[in-house]
Amino acid sequence: MATTIPRVQERQGFNIRWRYVIIIAILVPVLAHVFFAITRSPLTNYYVTVDELVAQSAQTSKVRVGGLIVPGTINWDNATRSLTFQLQGEKRNLTVTYRGFAPDTFRDGSTAIVEGELSRDGTFTAYNLLIKCPHQYVPAM
């Protein structure tokens, strides 16, 4: 009877080791998948720059682009309620068209984030237009 007790203990130790191996074998791929899903998520990259969009011009899916509004490029067409302006990149500017009303803080030199699609002619058609708030508020004089 003394010989059966060590075998049972060996078997339990063997089973516990295999349980850990199986749990680790399941958890590692699941955690790796979650990590890669989070890092490639659009939520981690809120928007791309103008230059990044031009480099990825083959993709026509919905994208967010951010940049400074180039002074003197804002054109408002009251008849069609369309707004045309340019976002500044390091190497080139991006022409943006937007149908709808602009936010109150929309002006030359503001930082804009537009969501939409890049057309084949290089014009960006925006569906949403956001203006980033300034870091410092200065009282009116």
What single-letter DSSP state applies at residue 132? P
Q: Please state the domain extents for the chain.
A: 1-44, 48-131
- The CA distances from residue 115 to 7, 97, 135, in Å, are 67, 11, 22
Supply 14's token pair: 């063997």
pTM here is: 0.63
Q: What is the CA radius of gyration of the chain?
A: 28
Residue whose tokens read 């943006």 = 96
Tell me yes or no: is domain 48-131 CATH 3.30.70.141: no
Q: Which tens digits make up the pLDDT trace of 14-38?
A: 688 888 889 999 999 999 888 887 7
CB 93 within 8 Å of CB 70: yes
Q: Which tens digits make up the pLDDT trace of 81-134?
A: 899 999 998 888 999 999 988 888 888 988 899 999 988 888 899 999 988 876
Is 60 exceeded by the pLDDT of residue 64? yes
